[in-house]
Structure 1
């Protein structure tokens, strides 16, 4: 969940830039003037071309919708070709055409013109001189639009599922009309439908967009410019003139790379990564996720081990996670965000991985490395809101474009951020394509969607009078519902094996129901694959935080989850949200002395791993760190050094987590029927006086696993537990083996338990045909299976 942070005041701090002319050239005239009119004239100068002063003024002001109709090469009276080149600061501009090089005449305001005979082209190059140094370049205004009608149609309809291939910056090769050879450069395209004009700015023009106005491609709202010679690594932004005439310099919403904060420019990037995860990608969809083992290690990449890059993480993280036996990692803060304190939940560049840790190919390398280690990758995805930074999405073209115009919807009251306008087709397309982008371009295996409840309800965190009902008089945001349904349906159709996971904190009906199945509330399902079980998390943590003597009064908090366990496909999350903001680390929530806290911690994890649903554990909790998580400092790794990591202390907890995952993965009863009531049965859910919970899990063939948790600090001898009969056993009794005991001395426990096997008596108990007498260790969880 997005943190409550001071980001409305501090997010988006940006580096200032000095706009300057090319190196070594110090102009004596104003930047727009260049040399005096006619200064380039000489024996080799071309006659000047005609100039429409009104068009020139619009180009110079950055409000021309079609600068290509004025700049570049165009037919002129008398069978000639008019050449117009805008180069502020230039001393001289020459054109090489038809094997002849000639100077253009300076008209004034940085505009150079000339008349060429028809046939002087097909190919031409410009030589521009600044401060006595000549630079050869191509003319951006000789090229036809680089987007086709199909792309523009799909953008208008909000149905471009590969939007990142149409918008943003892309290195490509284009051939100008009449020329034979393609020219390599970068195509820039941006959606700004209400802008009066858009200009490209960057290092290449010293952040002065006068020379690079973009053209509008009709009703699509897309502006486009192909610039020859620009390539990978180019820094750029867009200078957008809004309907109010005000100019705003904006980062590219579709940028696939960005500068390291606090700098805010977008970066042209080219992927060269060669994937090596073919086997993983081919097999990942073989089994539905809700019928497969799924245990998740959640981490904040920037602070897991502070200072590591994406590639550094690739060298350390896969081995660590594989050793612990988790099937997946969940990565917080993957997309570019300006404010560290938002943990990555206030995104400014939705298509760019966090540049603090490296470039896009570096992130691909991490995903690839995890896949080759057999570990899936889930990333946090934040379509619920975005920050107000003036260089990013907010009022992008001078109007409320990405955000709602309605003040009752536009701003999130908790976080001081803006809410996406889910009713606008192009905005919905931006987000749906973004979900597909991460799955297809980076091979991500899952998207955990943050703050879904804030999207679903119009009155979320709003008081009476601060929100308006929907068309049916309800409080549901119908546009957000339609967006989530479209996003899930598109991702599942295009990306086999990918799972979407909702962080949804209410009882909304049908979060993980198929979109075409209509529920009691009249809505189709949202279409997610899994949902975080926030109720289980809240209730179970509440129970274990009580002193054992008081737990009997809260017994139902541990059993209530089974009332609704099969209403959705659940993940049991002990996430970052539970170990920050004064809540304390997991072990710190437990009562008692240090030994009792660790014992409670271990017993709780044993109960959690056996409970129906998938598991998620945040970094640092796997070795029972005592302090809260800090995004600056990361986990308390010093606790794992030799001085602190003695057997039975922090290492014992980590060894238990490893064993939980090992036995879990090898026991289909713990995951195969997670979403089926036939996979679970209480043995005794009412032993409140004993602080004991006992239940059975079954796999698809009926093989059982028994879980017994004793949340009391006393040893319970000869504790009777009713069990099902075992086929072929005398009297149906049979023998059972303790396959996990969180009180084992290897994990720091007291060593109380049931070594070897226990034999069930053919005497009934708890409505079962047989029973065993167990020794229940203090503050511990036992798992047993048929021997």
Structure 2
């Protein structure tokens, strides 16, 4: 095998070329095995069309994979939830089971389960590929439900193609998107929240908690039923309607997919499905996640690969999702799950702790997803920075389009917690924000849902704390609030202007949503107070939240149409630690930041290309809660340097705690 392209592009990887080639060989060998057994990857991933409950017109067919089972019966209200011969499944080859049932016996809306027997025991289970699961309001027990589509859903997005250069992601949780104390629905999200996202300028929605999960407070990360739309939020058709409407608005929809682990639950999930602990998961300790109290998939088994790859294909083909953000893959990449690991050098990635089966699965998933839809989007949530993760498969990479830049929010929190902004080091800020490999795209963000969970704090809360409760009205004067609003805007602008591929914001954080996220649980009296979004704060004309929303909207629209559109590289122009001034350029755009809380600078000279300049965005604009110190109508002209006629400078007024974006308009300078 030749040296992989992404290794050639990074000389520091050359000592680890044997380990990288071993990973690539593992993938190629597995792909050949799949072709030999199934024909090709596409046929292997048709598992959802073979298993599960299928409508055959006048009857239903149910197929299940349970190799350790000795008997399986379909049970429900139709037979008093007791096994009988009429509802016995027939054993087929390769551990598969099947039953065909008349629609006179099984009807739309019926609840059912599988009663599975094995040597020495038995248990109630939900079919592994089931696409509809509902929870009893009183008993809280989950059951599978017969869900017959009354006519095909009428899609209206045939010509839709994601416009994601750059990708601007609005991370959202449907259930907590209501202002009311309740679980919101897909339809309510479509009617009330989608228009807000469209107005804000984001071109991609990342939906959380779509796959069914028993515990609402898990944020959807303890999945039990991988093919079932969470019924808390509505029906499958209502989810399709939401995605269809987003596409009509020019907005892509990706799913936060969880293939890194599964909930331990047995009745609802895959735990001990056929009486064994190793059907879908690793046996013994390796099958238990030490930090998440969940089960770890065995990606070395063809049946597990088929289940997960089929799951990817199902959500794309049946629901028109435009791709996925793969959750928690650091846990998949390494046998140690990345726990208490610093990843301080390349040797930490290639030291024999890699999980080659998991790496192969992720490569296969990316290959499949982009074959189904060449315009699909895949994003890796990886905190380790595994080399080649978001490089092309043909270059020797894993094939993701983007990696989440998870170190950025951690950096901002550390800066806010450990240093007063009088001591913020702009060299360190610029260095940290620029940490990415040139060939790999990343999605940068200042905070996601992780930073808003109970026990943590959002950026705005860290900046203003208790004054948020009584000083955010227009009539109140507060230096703390002024500081918080100014830094909130600057932190976001610094993050998005240095991003190398895209940007992400969590629902509500764009306007500085107060407090934290805490789902209903016994510890809070099953309250929805913190599991909702207070949109009224942003809409209220007499509150300062509107300033942050106005700024975010202007910033995102400018990113989409301007400084991020060509993903040009950043070049530092003036990174002055003493002044706390950070200035850099991207193409014809110049970003100017003054993090000093006290010092404003007059006639601050910076080296630029000759031409004239205009202000495109200014955090000090009164519409954004600023003081209006900058005349945005003014056109700036470059000057020749007095002692170097080949260089030009621009002289600027840069107020304290202010950031601006200038656009260069090439023209003959006036001196």
TM-score (norm 2): 0.82
Q: What is the aligned partner in structure 2 of residue 383 from structure 1? A: 259
Instruction: Give 1:313 deviation, angstroms.
Output: 1.4
Q: CA deviation at 1:550?
A: 1.8
Give 1:309 deviation, angstroms: 1.3
> Please, which of 286, 289, 292 is the counterpart of residue 409 of structure 1?
286
The answer to whether structure 1 residue 693 and structure 2 residue 587 are counterparts is: no
Equivalent residue, structure 2, for 1:561: 433
Q: Which residue of 1 aligns with 2:244?
A: 368
Change (3 A) 1:189 1:382: same
Distance in 1, Cα, partners of 2:36 & 2:97: 11
Structure 2 CA distance for partners of 1:151 and 1:763, relative to 1, 3 Å: closer
**TM-aligned CA deviation for residue 542 of structure 1:** 2.5
Closer, same or farther: CA 226–767 of 1 in aligned 2, 3 Å: farther
1:640 positional shift: 3.0
Match of 1:617 among 502, 505, 508: 505
Decide whether the 8 Å contact of 1:156 with 1:426 is kept in 2. no
Residue 576 of structure 1, CA deviation: 0.3
**Measured at CA, do residues 461 and 682 of structure 1 come closer, stay the same or move farther in structure 2, by a change above 3 Å?**
closer
Cα distance in 1 for residues equivalent to 2:404 and 2:602: 37
Residue 92 (structure 2) aligns with: 217
Q: Which position in structure 2 is the counterpart of 1:634?
A: 532
Unpaired runs of 5+ residues, structure 1, are 1-149, 174-183, 465-471, 519-524, 699-703, 726-731
Closer/same/farther in 2, CA of residues 406 and 625 from structure 1, 3 Å limit: same
Hey, what does 1:653 align to over in structure 2?
548
Q: Match of 2:381?
A: 503
Of 538, 547, 556 in structure 1, the residue corresponding to residue 410 of structure 2 is: 538
Structure 2, unaligned stretches of length 5 or more? 1-33, 342-349, 465-478, 520-527, 666-671
Which residue in 1 is equivalent to 2:358? 480
Match of 1:600 among 481, 487, 493: 487
Distance 1:766 1:741 in 2: 31
What SS does the aligned partner of 2:362 have? helix
Worse-superposed segment, 155-164 or 628-637: 155-164
- Aligned pairs for 1:7-26 (under 5 A) are none
Answer yes or no: is the 8 Å Cα contact 2:612–2:636 preserved in 1.
yes
**Correspondent of 2:112 among 207, 211, 236:** 236
Q: Please list, as runs of the form range in 1=range in 2, the aligned pairs for 1:8-407 lying within 5 A after superposition.
A: 154=38, 160-173=44-57, 184-211=58-85, 212-218=87-93, 220-229=94-103, 230-242=106-118, 244-260=119-135, 262-271=140-149, 272-281=151-160, 283-284=161-162, 289=164, 292-305=165-178, 306-391=182-267, 392-407=269-284
> Which residue does the alignment assign to 2:604?
720
Q: Which residue of 2 aligns with 1:116?
A: none
Give the equivalent residue in structure 2 for 1:135.
none
Match of 2:614 among 708, 713, 737: 737
Structure number with the higher helix fraction is: 2
Q: CA deviation at 1:779?
A: 1.6
Q: CA deviation at 1:373?
A: 1.3
Question: How far is 1:769 from its partner?
Answer: 2.5
SS of the residue aligned with 1:755? coil
Distance 2:647 2:460 in 1: 38
- After superposition, the Cα gap between the structure-2 partners of 1:710 and 1:189, relative to the gap in structure 1 and judged at 3 Å, is same
Q: Deviations over 1:325-375 (max 9, x none)?
A: 111111110111010110100011100111011111111111111111111
- Distance (Å, rounded) in 1 between the aligned partners of 2:108 and 2:644: 70
User: Following the alignment from structure 1 to structure 2, what is the Cα–Cα distance between the partners of residues 765 and 368?
Assistant: 61
Q: Higher mean Cα deviation, 555-564 or 529-538?
A: 555-564
| 1:762, distance to aligned residue in structure 2 (A) | 1.9
1:438-449 to structure 2, matched below 5 A, reads 438-449=315-326
Query: What secondary structure is seen at the aligned counterpart in 2 of 1:277?
Result: coil
Matched residue pairs, number? Answer: 585
Task: Tell me, yes or no, if the aligned pair for 1:198 and 1:241 is still in contact at 8 Å.
Answer: yes
Cα 1:716–1:764 change in 2 (3 A) is farther
Secondary structure of the residue aligned to 1:736 is strand
Deviates more, 1:485-494 or 1:254-263: 254-263
Match of 2:265, SS state, is: coil
Match of 1:109 in 2: none
Judged with a 3 Å threshold, the aligned counterparts in structure 2 of structure 1 residues 480 and 775 are, in CA distance, closer, same or farther, namely: same
Give the structure, 1 or 2, with the largest relative contact order (CA under 8 Å, sep 6 or more): 2
Q: Is the 8 Å Cα contact of residues 132 and 145 (structure 2) preserved in structure 1?
A: yes
TM-superposed CA distance for 1:567, in Å, is: 5.0
> Equivalent residue for 1:681?
571
Gap change, CA 1:308 and 1:417, over 3 Å in 2: same
- Select the residue among 762, 765, 771 that pairs with 2:640: 762
Indicate the structure (1 or 2) with the bigger Cα radius of gyration.
1
Q: What is the CA deviation profile of residues 394-424 of structure 1, one whole-angstrom value per residue up to 9, with x for unaligned ones?
A: 0110112444343231011111100011111
Aligned partner of 1:663 among 558, 563, 570: 558
Match of 2:475 in 1: none
Question: Shift of residue 209 of structure 1?
Answer: 1.9
Output the TM-score relative to the length of structure 1. Answer: 0.71
Alignment RMSD (CA, Å): 2.6
- Native 8 Å contact 1:539 1:558 kept in 2: no
Q: Is the 8 A contact 1:721 1:773 kept in 2?
A: yes
* Structure 2 partner of 1:786: 664
CA contact under 8 A between 1:612 and 1:671: conserved in structure 2? no
Query: How many angstroms apart in 2 are the aligned matches of 1:155 and 1:265?
Result: 35
- Tell me, in whole angstroms, the C-alpha distance in 1 between the residues paired with 2:613 and 2:362: 47
Is it true that 1:528 corresponds to 2:400 in the alignment?
A: yes
| Alpha carbons 2:41, 2:368 under 8 Å: kept | no
Partner of 1:34 in structure 2?
none
Deviation at 1:206, TM superposition (A): 1.8
